[in-house]
Amino acid sequence: MTAYRRPGDVIVDRYRLIDLLNEARGARFWLAWDNILARHVAVHLISEDDPRADELRAAARRSARLLDPRLLRVLDIGTIAGNCYVVNEWGEGVSLNNMLAEGPLAPRRAAWLIGEVSETIAAAHASGVAHGRLVPENVLIDERGSVKVIGFAVDAALHGLPEGRTSTEVVDLAGLLYAALTGKWPGISTSSVKPAPQEHGRALRPRQVRAGVPRILDTLCDEVLSPYPGPHDHGYDSAAAIATALMEYVGDPAAMAEAEAASRRGNTHPRLPRIEALVLAPDPVPEPDPEPEPEPEPTPEPEPPARPSPAEETVAGAPVFYDDSGDVGWVSPSPAPPPPPPPPFEEQPARPLFAPDPPEGRAVRTPRPGAEQDSAQYWPWETGTGAVPPAPDDTPGEDDSVPGRNWMRTAWIIAASLLILVAMIYAFNRGRDTDGASDDDEDSRATTTTSARAVLKPVGISDLDPYGDPPEENSDRAPLAIDGDAATAWQTSGYDQNFGPGGLKPGVGLVVDLGEEKQVGSAVATVLNDPTAAELYVVGGDSAPTSVDDLDPVASATSSQGRLVLKPGDAATGRWVVLWLTSVPNDGSYRGRVAEIQVRE
C-alpha cells in the first residue's frame, strides 16, 4: 500500500504532491499539482479504514453539487491504495483569522465581507447543503479581492462533526460578523482568533468590546448570538435575512468589492510558481566508467610579458624587418639617464626659547630707529629717565598691531550694548504687566504644559445615551469627533430643556476607546458653541461603560472660546475616557457640538 507521504508522489497518475500543509488526527492536507490541467489543487488524504472516510466522501459529493463562484469547488474524489482522497480547487489569499491578527476591520468592510459569505451560505442552504464549520479560518480573501468560502462540508467531516444544520449556521454568521468587528471569536468551534469576553455566560455586545461599532451591526450580533429568553422575532432567522441586512448597510457592494480589489493590486506576496514538468523521468542508466587515459605532461605556459610599472615612462620605438625570417622587431633608443637626486635639506638651527643676554654695559632692550622720538612725543609726563623703549622686533618696520583686534573689540562693545538694551526693555515691560497678567500667565503655562504632552491615539469612539429610547445619540456621527478635522462634529439632538435635574436627561456623552489601559493626564475638547459644560470619567476594564451613574468624575469644566480643558487633579488610568455633557447652549434648541477630542498623557 502506498502511503503518499512524500513530496513527488503522484495520485492516479495525475495529482503530484508538492507540500504537506497540515497533518492532524491521521488526515493530511497537501498542496498538489494537476498534471493534466496544469494548475495547483488542494488534496485531502485519509486512510480508507478511518471512521471518517465514508462521511468525507459523502460530504464531498454534497459539496460538488454547489456551483457558486465564491466556493472552492470539489474537483475529484476517489480511493487508491487504501487511501481516500478529495481534490479541491486551490485558492491563494489571506484568511479572515490572519487578517484579524492585525486588528479588527472597519465596520463597513466587515459588513461587506460577511455579507458576501452570507449570500454564499444562503445559496447553499437553498440547495439543502450546509457548510458545517463556519470559522474565520474558512473565509478567504483571494489575490483579486474576492471572497471565498473554503472547506464546504469537507472540513466538518475531517473534524468528525455531523452534517451541519442551517439554523446553526445563522448563529455562525453572526459570530463571523462579531469577529470581524471586534477581533474576538464568540463561536463554539475552535479558532486561532482570541475568544470573546463574556459576562454571565453571554458574549459581551460588540460595542462593549470595541467603541464605534454601528448600532445596527451591534444589534444584529447581540440578538442572534445572545437572544433573550422567551419568544422573539428579530428578523435574522436565515442566512438570506442576514445577507440582506448587511448589504443594505453597505449600500454599494460593487464599490466595496472594487476597493478591496484595488487594495490587493499592491500586494507583493509571492505567488506559487507554475510547475512545467512534474512527471518524474526515470533515472538514466549509468554508463561504465571509461579506462583512465594517461595524463599528458603539462606544457609549460609562456611567461606573461612584464607589465610596465606606472613609474616607467613610455619610450618611442621603430620597427625592424628581418629578411631571413620575415619577423618584425623593435628597436628603442637608450633611455635617458635619470636626473640626479635633489640636494638634502639643510638642518635649520634650533631657535632659543629666550633671547640671549646682552653684552655687559648694554641695555636689555634697544629702541628701533625713530622709536624714541615717537615715544617721547606721546608720553604724558616726564620721568627723568626718558621714554620706555619698546621691545625689539625681529622684523624691522613691522606694525605691532594685531590684525582684526580693533574690529573684535568694537563688535563686543556693540553686542554688550544690545544685551543691556534688551534687558532694560524686558524689565520695563515685565514691571508694567505684573499687576494684570498673573491670570493670563497661569493659563498660558497650563496651555503650554497641556499641549506639550503626548496625544493618545484612540482606536474607536461611540456615543453614550443611557437615558434615550432608543439609547443612542447620533451614533453614526461619533467618529467625526476623532477624525482630526475641526470642521466636522458630532452633535446631540435638539432639546427643549437643558440637561440637569429639571431636564429630560442628566446628560449625554462620548466614549473614547484607547485600546488598552493608559495614563490620562488631561482631555481637551473643541466645541462649536459656548458655554458647554462637561465632566470627565476614566474607566478601566474590557467593556465600555454603559452609564455614568456609578462612576466618579475626575474633572469638570466649562468651555471658553470653543475650548474645553478637563484636567484631573491626579493622573487617572483606564482604557475608556468618557466626555459627559452636563450643560449645552441654546441656539433655538439646547444642543451640544463636539468637533474634536484629544486625550493626552
Residues 82 and 192 in one domain: no
pLDDT at 373: 45
Question: Which whole number is the average pLDDT over 276-300?
Answer: 46
**Single-letter amino acid, residue 579:** L
pLDDT for res 349: 58
Q: In this predicted structure, which of 171-180, 221-230, 339-348 has the lowest mean pLDDT?
A: 339-348
- Comparing CA positions, the residue from 135, 146, 51 lying closest to residue 92 is 146
Its sign, for the CA torsion 408, 409, 414, 420, is positive
124-182 residue pLDDT tens: 999 999 999 999 999 999 888 899 999 999 999 998 888 878 888 999 999 999 999 99
Give the model's confidence band at 471: pLDDT under 50 very low, under 70 low, under 90 confident, else very high: confident
Question: In sequence order, what E strands does 57-99 have?
Answer: 74-80, 83-89, 93-95
pLDDT in tens, 41-90: 999 999 988 999 999 999 999 999 888 889 988 999 999 888 999 999 99
- Please report whether residue 349 resides in a domain: no
The closest of 117, 124, 131 to 65, measured between CA atoms, is 124
On whether both 15 and 118 belong to a single domain, the answer is no
Check which CATH number belongs to the domain holding 202 and give it. 1.10.510.10
pTM of model > 0.85: no
235 and 217: one domain? yes
Residues 98 and 85 in one domain: no
Closest CA to 515 of 576, 571, 601: 576
Q: Model confidence at 473, in pLDDT bands (50, 70, 90)?
A: confident
Report pLDDT for 367: 52
Residue 198 has pLDDT above 60, yes or no: yes
Least confident of 131-140, 461-470, 589-598: 461-470
Are 122 and 242 in a shared domain?
Answer: yes
Q: Which of 155-164, 243-252, 306-315 has the lowest mean pLDDT?
A: 306-315
Q: Is residue 546 in some structural domain? A: yes
Question: Are 101 and 80 within one domain?
Answer: no
- Residue predicted with more confidence, 362 or 152: 152
Residue at which a domain ends, from 61, 89, 117: 89
CA atoms of 142 and 140, how far apart (whole Å): 6
Domain membership flag for residue 412: no
User: Is the predicted pLDDT of residue 334 greater than 90, yes or no?
Assistant: no
Using a 10 angstrom Cβ sphere, with 0-12 exposed, 13-18 middle and 19 or more buried, the burial of residue 254 is exposed
Tell me what the mean pLDDT of segment 344-358 comes to.
57
Cα(601)–Cα(330) distance, rounded to whole angstroms? 89
Instruction: Determine, yes or no, domain membership for 196.
Output: yes
Confidence of residue 532 (pLDDT cuts 50, 70, 90): very high
Residue 456 and residue 599: Cα distance in Å, rounded? Answer: 5
Determine the average pLDDT of the residues in 411-427: 83
Q: CA 118 to CA 176: how far, in whole Å?
A: 10
Q: How many domains does the chain have?
A: 3
End of a domain among 198, 230, 265? Answer: 265
In our burial notation (b when 16+ CB lie closer than 10 A, e otherwise), range 481-513 reads bbeeeeeebbbbbebeebbeeeeebebbbbbbb
> If you average pLDDT over residues 442-462, what whole number do you get?
67
In a domain, 133, yes or no: yes
pLDDT the model gives residue 134: 94
Which residue do the cell numbers 472540513 mark? 155
What does the pLDDT read at residue 267?
55
Question: Is residue 437 domain-resident?
Answer: no
Q: Give the per-residue pLDDT at 501.
A: 73
CA distances from 426 to 420, 421, 433, 434, 436 (A): 10, 9, 11, 12, 16
Is residue 129 in some structural domain? yes
Q: Is residue 183 part of a domain?
A: yes
Task: State which of 56, 89, 122 marks the end of a domain.
Answer: 89
Retrieve residue 324's grid coordinates.
Answer: 631571413
Question: Is there a single domain that holds both residue 116 and residue 151?
Answer: yes
The dihedral built from the CA positions of residue 409, 410, 411 and 417, taken in this order, carries a sign that is: positive
Q: Please compute the mean of the pLDDT values over residues 257-280 and round it to a whole number.
A: 58
| Residue 455, beta-bridge partner list | 600
* Angular region, 596: left φ>0, alpha ψ -120 to 50, beta rest: beta
Task: Mark whether 472 and 516 lie in a shared domain.
Answer: yes
3-state secondary structure of 244: helix
Query: Mapping DSSP to helix (H, G, I), strand (E, B) and coil, where does residue 148 land?
Result: strand
Same domain, 188 and 129: yes
Is residue 227 predicted with pLDDT exceeding 50? Answer: yes
Cell 612725543 appears where? 377
Range 180-188 average pLDDT: 93
Pair 35, 143 in one domain:
no
Residue 577's H or E segment, with its range, is strand 572-583
Lowest mean pLDDT across 79-83, 127-131, 266-270, 413-417: 266-270
Q: Report which secondary-structure segment, H or E, holds 331.
A: strand 328-331
Structural domain harbouring 216: 93-265
Q: Which pLDDT does position 266 carry in this prediction?
A: 57
DSSP assignment string, 360-415: TTS-SS-PPTTHHHHHHHH-SS--SS-PPPPPP-SSTT---SPTTHHHHHHHHHHH
SS3 state of residue 240? helix
pLDDT at 117 over 50: yes
Pick from 578, 589, 501, 591: nearest CA to 535: 578
* pLDDT at residue number 150: 92
Asked if pLDDT for residue 276 goes beyond 60, the answer is no
The mean of the pLDDT values for the chain is 78
Whole-number pLDDT of residue 277 = 37
**What CATH number is associated with residue 14?**
3.30.200.20
**How far is residue 368's CA from residue 366's CA, in Å, rounded to a whole number?**
7
Mean pLDDT over residues 12-32, rounded? Answer: 90
Residue 472 confidence class, pLDDT cut points 50, 70, 90: confident
Query: In terms of C-beta density within 10 A (0-12 exposed, 13-18 middle, 19 or more buried), how is residue 176 classed?
Result: buried
Q: Are residues 84 and 114 in the same domain?
A: no
pLDDT band at 256 (very low <50, low <70, confident <90, very high): confident
Are both 245 and 196 inside the same structural domain? yes
Whether residue 398 is predicted with pLDDT greater than 50 in this model: the reply is no
Average pLDDT (416-420) is 86
The CATH number of residue 497's host domain is 2.60.120.260
What's phi and psi for 455, nearest 5 deg? Answer: -85, 130
pLDDT classification of 378: cutoffs 50, 70, 90:
very low
The tens digit of pLDDT for each residue in 485-513 reads 888 999 998 888 898 877 778 899 999 99
Q: How many residues does the chain have?
A: 601
